[in-house]
Amino acid sequence: MLFKQIYEEGLAQGSYFIGCQAENTAIVVDPRRDIQVYLEEAQKNGMRIVAVTETHIHADYLSGARELTRATAAKLYLSDEGDADWKYGALEGFNYQPLKDGDEIKLGNITLTAVHTPGHTPEHLSFLVKDGAAANEAGFFLTGDFVFVGDIGRPDLLEEAAGLQGTAEPGAQQMFASLKRKFLSLPDYVQVWPGHGAGSACGKALGAVASTTVGYERRFAWWADYLRTNDQKGFVKALLSGQPEAPSYFAQMKRLNRDGMAILGDLPQPHKFTPAQFQQKLAQGAVLVDTRDKLAFAGGHIQGSRNLPGNKSFSTWAGWLLPYDQPLVLLAGDEQVGDLVAKLVRIGLDRVVGYIPRLEGYAEGELETVPQITAAQAKALWEKGEARVLDVRAADEYQAGHIPGAQNIHAGRVIQNLAGIPRNVPVIVHCLGGDRSSTAISALRSVGFDNLINLTGGIRAWQQEGYPTQKGPSHQPVGV
């Protein structure tokens, strides 16, 4: 058996290429939308991809299951569990087979058995993998967003991101039952290969190693004691507390992954604009995505542009802060564009119409700058009550220690909370070190805020000076 995890760091997402070397056939589980990596893996190993499946209707990225099936003429296997709201659509023209608990997918010596594991979502499947050439029992468990290394899938996403109220607690109860009946019933030696690793918003404490075992999680996972004592109430409370903010684009992903999205065929190839073409696109309503670092952006940028540095977090911030209904233009080097386009396509932002590699043709004073303030200067304004403080870190970071009186709005949610941010006084914006505050400031300035000042060095600089902080939650209600 050929078994390979294909990991995408930006979304902390793992997909799986599993091949039968006796028949030279393969199945791909949980593919991402830019499918070339799977086609290359098949070619490298002399295999045909004959089956494609996924564990559930994903929220954090756009699935490549339909895309890969169309490209390879493979058979598509998708969950048929859950209620009517969680049934897949747009399957006309595909060689498709629905999966229920206990159904099998066979290719050569390999058997994948579907295991219904609701909790994260109602339709969620995990897959037991048996290599019949080596053993007569399954040795691998592909758990998707059911069990992670050191954590389990969050059941509140349907409520938090998709707006389905009243689903979090029942989902947590389902998760308890799935762990008890489906996971802990397996032998300790079974290897657990999850759909996400550290950095994903699909859990709150995901481990940074690639895999674990049933036995290790049975003994050391944070939830293990609740299962040992059959404490469902305590488990539900612990699971639902402290979950990170769900990116706003998750609801869009859920809908597209369920109902179907455009088949790309190939990745978009953005046009390199001349200065005149670039200005025309901006005049027509395109959004400029400035992928330079925070210092370059602060030093001079085009009015209305949004600063999303082209690092491994680019996809997530794009989902938080870029519109799905407007064309996008990238400010990025020639060598970066292909990678950035792939990262956007993974979350369904397909409307990249072009790019410029640098800012050209702007005279001195035509570019905007971001005002900066030191910790000492910020403290002076704060003590006099002459400025408000906006902390754009995550809620758990804020609660662990923040500037007294600071307002807390996650950087990804500032656009949804414009009414809560003052315009008539200076607002000092900060995160931990300055990256997220630059992104938040760019988003707010793109919609007309001109009273924002970036705290150079973030709260880290404030704390290094020994200035006061306090712990606890924000008491200022904000929208989501």
> 266-303: per-residue pLDDT in tens?
999 999 999 999 999 999 999 999 999 999 999 999 99
289 touches 349 (CB < 8 A): no
What are the extents of the domains in the chain? 2-259, 271-356, 372-464
Tell me the mean pLDDT in the region 175-181.
98
For the four alpha carbons of 426, 431, 435 and 440, in that order, the dihedral sign comes to: negative
Q: Is residue 29 within 8 Å of 64, Cβ to Cβ?
A: no
Percentage of residues of the chain with pLDDT beyond 90: 88
The total of other beta-carbon atoms located within 10 Å of residue 241's CB is 8
Output the average pLDDT for the chain: 94
Looking at the DSSP assignment, which residues form a beta bridge with residue 52? 28, 76
Q: Which distant-in-sequence residues (6+ apart) come within 8 Å of 194 by Cβ? A: 14, 143, 144, 145, 146, 147, 148, 149, 206, 211, 212
Look at the domain 271-356 and name its fold.
Oxidized Rhodanese; domain 1 (3.40.250)
Question: CA-to-CA distance for 476 and 403, rounded, in angstroms?
Answer: 14
> Given this chain, do its domains 2-259 and 271-356 carry the same CATH topology?
no
Residue pair 409/417 in contact (Cβ under 8 Å)? The answer is yes
- Phi, psi dihedral angles at 396 (to 5 degrees): -70, -35
Neighbouring-strand partners of residue 104: 113
**pLDDT surpasses 50 at 478:** no
CATH 1.20.950.20 fits domain 2-259: no
Write out pLDDT tens, residues 80-127: 999 888 899 999 999 999 999 999 999 999 999 999 999 999 999 999
In the predicted structure, residue 129 carries a pLDDT above the cut 50: yes
Judged against a pLDDT cut of 70, whether residue 477 lies above it is answered with no
3 state SS for the chain: CEEEEEEECCCCEEEEEEEECCCCEEEEECCECCCHHHHHHHHHCCCEEEEEECCCCCCCCCECHHHHHHHHCCEEEEECCCCHHHCCCCCCCCCEEEECCCCEEEECCEEEEEEECCCCCCCCEEEEEEECCCCCCCCEEEEECCEECCEECCCCHHHHCCCCCCCHHHHHHHHHHHHHHHHCCCCCCCEEEECECCCCCCCCCCCCCCCEEHHHHHHHCCCHHHHHCCCHHHHHHHHHCCCCCCCCCHHHHHHHHHHCCCCCCCCCCCEECCHHHHHHHHHCCCEEEECCCHHHHHHCECCCCEECCCCCCHHHHHHHHCCCCCCEEEECCCCCHHHHHHHHHCCCCCCEEEEECCCCCCCCCCCECCCEECHHHHHHHHHHCCCEEEECCCHHHHHHCECCCCEECCHHHCHHHHHHCCCCCCEEEECCCCHHHHHHHHHHHCCCCCCEEEECCHHHHHHHCCCCCECCCCCCCCCC
**CB-hemisphere CA count at 13 Å for 165?**
0
- Across the range 231-250, mean pLDDT stands at 91
The CATH class, in words, for 372-464 is alpha beta
Per-residue pLDDT at 243? 86
74-83 burial: b if 16+ Cβ within 10 Å, else e: bbbbbbbbbe
What per-residue confidence (pLDDT) applies to 245? Answer: 85
Interval 5-53: pLDDT, tens: 999 999 999 999 999 999 999 999 999 999 999 999 999 999 999 999 9
Output Rg (C-alpha) for the chain, integer angstroms. 24
Spatial CA neighbour of 195 closest among 59, 340, 88, 1: 59
42 vs 243, residue with greater confidence: 42
Distance, in Å, from the CA atom of 270 to the CA atom of 353, rounded to the nearest integer, reads 5
Mean pLDDT confidence for 168-184? 97
C-alpha 462/C-alpha 468 separation (Å) is: 8
Report whether pLDDT(480) > 60: no
List CB contacts of 452: < 8 A, sequence separation 6 or more.
370, 371, 426, 427, 429, 441, 444, 445
pLDDT of residue 248: 82
Distance CA 213, CA 194 (A): 11
What is the structure's pLDDT at 479? 35
Is residue 124 within 8 A of residue 143, CB to CB? The reply is no
Judge whether 116 and 8 are in contact, CB under 8 Å.
no
